[in-house]
Amino acid sequence: MTRHGDGATTRTGRSPSAVAAALLAVVALLGGGTAAAQVAVFGDVVHTMAGEPIEDGVVVIADGKIAAVGPAATVAVPDGSERVRAPVVAPGLIDAHSVVGLAGAQNQPHDQDQLDRSEPLQPELRAIDAYDPGEPLVDWLRSLGVTTLHTGHAPGALISGQTMIVKTKPTTVADATLVPFAMVACTLGEGAQSGGKGPPGNRSKAAAMLRGALLAAREYEDRRGADAEKRPPRDLRHEALAAVLRGEVPLLVTVHRRHDVRTALRIAEEFEVRLVLDGMAEAVAVLDELRETGTPVLLHPTMVRPSGERRHASMETAARLREAGIPFAIQGGYESYVPKTRYVGFEAGIAAQNGLAPDDALAAITLDAARILGVDDRVGSLEVGKDGDVALFDGDPLETTTRCLGVVLDGVPHLDR
């Protein structure tokens, strides 16, 4: 993708007839959403995210996996393949952190399962027990090109529960799930505090409770390894945190203020846990610490409202993280009201408006996100052997005016809208 100059249209152009033809092709071939053994996705430009964009390229998908990628002139497309064409082809987009599927569009009690406030520490709450693949917001994100979601329990409790990684398929949880237990969701700062309804009531108490929970889980882990008769009874809460202590899943800490970031780093160092920082409105104030510790960042939506703990949020933060060499991805985040979800394509576009190179902006919602989530062996780029997840656009994917023409998801074409 090239950065377009003032007033320029996309490099691929976007003549109405080309768009109409592309749409027709998609309607004809994707409408059914049925599985095909082989699908060939042609693009005037194919952003593989593994090397330079390919002009007039094709992605061949067989049995749900990418079988070949390259210039259409040189890649053999098997006979009988479904053929799909779009002006611009990219990997299916990844929302690096969302609550969609637990949080629904209607914003009524029946579709809001992202946060339980009855206790401050509930790492045993599994996202897979709450995710609804039929939620309209899942369809909405898929219709915009998002094929992978890191979703789960929301910020707003010291430990609100677990997160998961899903494909945005309208199917069962089991079928949609890529990683059932991805991270343990923790919040520090004002967002973790109860507002007088019990602990934690302030920052120190929150940190002490988190440390206490990790310590208890470590003791539990040690004792579980002891002789059968001395083994403590199974404890779901300790079990979830023990997975963090063993390094199997990261601790995802939502934090905005600089001193809260340092608290998260301090606790992660003390317990030697893998840390992923989330939100991070004041990331530019802690660049040195992030670089020294190699801590990745799931950055708040670029258009996050600059109020409360996010009052110092900047639309340039993504560009500053890139300059500093800190791994980051852009997230859709959690919204309590309107818009009920954000779309990472729009957020990445605004990051590109504010100093992030367009290629890096696209990486922040594809391959860089996959790497931080630990699923880059499956998704995030168009490379042989990865899942057949492709997004089709009628122009530059970062432009607000660009339409998504559909996705191919695990080799299955979808045109939802």
Which residues have a Cβ under 8 Å from the Cβ of 96 and sit 6 or more positions away? 150, 298, 329, 330, 331, 344, 364, 365, 369, 372, 373
Binding another protein (rule: CB under 8 A), the pick from 34, 325, 337, 385 is 337
| Strand 38-46, strand 82-91: pairing | parallel
Cα(314)–Cα(302) distance, integer angstroms: 7
Kindly state whether residue 23 participates in binding another protein, applying the rule CB under 8 A. no
SS3 128: helix
Kindly state whether residue 342 participates in binding another protein, applying the rule CB under 8 A. yes
Q: Looking at 52-60, 116-124, 196-204, 308-316, which segment touches another protein (CB under 8 A)? A: 308-316
Please, what is the minimum distance in Å from the beta carbon of residue 109 to another protein?
Answer: 12
Cα(396)–Cα(417) distance, integer angstroms: 19
Single-letter residue type at 398: L
Cα angle for residues 320, 182, 315 (degrees, 5° grid)? 20
- The closest of 173, 177, 162, 180 to 126, measured between CA atoms, is 162
Kindly state whether residue 17 participates in binding another protein, applying the rule CB under 8 A. no
Q: Identify which of residues 78 and 339 has a Cβ nearer to another protein in the complex.
A: 339
Q: Identify which of residues 144 and 243 has a Cβ nearer to another protein in the complex.
A: 144
Binding another protein (rule: CB under 8 A), the pick from 17, 74, 118, 307 is 307
Kindly state whether residue 312 participates in binding another protein, applying the rule CB under 8 A. yes
Kindly state whether residue 399 participates in binding another protein, applying the rule CB under 8 A. yes
Site string for another protein, 234-273 (x = CB under 8 A): ----------------------------------------
Quick one: how far is CA 27 from the chain centroid? 28
Q: Identify which of residues 74 and 108 has a Cβ nearer to another protein in the complex.
A: 108
How far the first Cα of the chain sits from its last, in Å, is: 26
Kindly state whether residue 331 participates in binding another protein, applying the rule CB under 8 A. no
Size of interface with another protein, in residues (CB under 8 A): 47
C-alpha torsion sign, points 208, 214, 218, 220: positive
Kindly state whether residue 283 participates in binding another protein, applying the rule CB under 8 A. no
Is-contact 334 114, C-beta < 8 A? yes
Q: Identify which of residues 47 and 237 has a Cβ nearer to another protein in the complex.
A: 47
Burial class (CB in 10 A: 0-12, 13-18, 19+), 46: buried
Is-contact 309 107, C-beta < 8 A? no
Kindly state whether residue 107 participates in binding another protein, applying the rule CB under 8 A. yes
Please, what is the minimum distance in Å from the beta carbon of residue 339 to another protein?
Answer: 4
Buried b (16+ CB within 10 A) or exposed e, 296-320: bbbbbbbbbeeeebbeebbbbbbbb
Q: Identify which of residues 100 and 367 has a Cβ nearer to another protein in the complex.
A: 100
Please, what is the minimum distance in Å from the beta carbon of residue 6 to another protein?
Answer: 3
Distances (CA, A) of 223 to 6, 214, 236, 305, 376: 64, 14, 15, 46, 35
Binding another protein (rule: CB under 8 A), the pick from 2, 106, 202, 204 is 106
Q: Identify which of residues 155 and 388 has a Cβ nearer to another protein in the complex.
A: 155
Torsion of CA 92, 98, 99, 104, to 10 degrees: -60
Kindly state whether residue 413 participates in binding another protein, applying the rule CB under 8 A. no
Q: Identify which of residues 31 and 306 has a Cβ nearer to another protein in the complex.
A: 306
Kindly state whether residue 131 participates in binding another protein, applying the rule CB under 8 A. no
Q: Identify which of residues 5 and 385 has a Cβ nearer to another protein in the complex.
A: 5
Quick one: how far is CA 42 from the chain centroid? 26
Please, what is the minimum distance in Å from the beta carbon of residue 137 to another protein?
Answer: 7
Tokens in use for 295?
Answer: 């801590």
Output DSSP code: residue 199: S
Kindly state whether residue 8 participates in binding another protein, applying the rule CB under 8 A. yes
Kindly state whether residue 311 participates in binding another protein, applying the rule CB under 8 A. yes
Q: Looking at 74-82, 269-277, 337-345, 379-387, which segment touches another protein (CB under 8 A)? A: 337-345
Binding another protein (rule: CB under 8 A), the pick from 5, 16, 233, 385 is 5
Query: Which residues are at the interface with another protein (CB under 8 A)?
Result: 3-8, 104-108, 136-137, 140, 284, 303, 305-308, 310-316, 335, 337-343, 346, 349-350, 352-354, 398-403
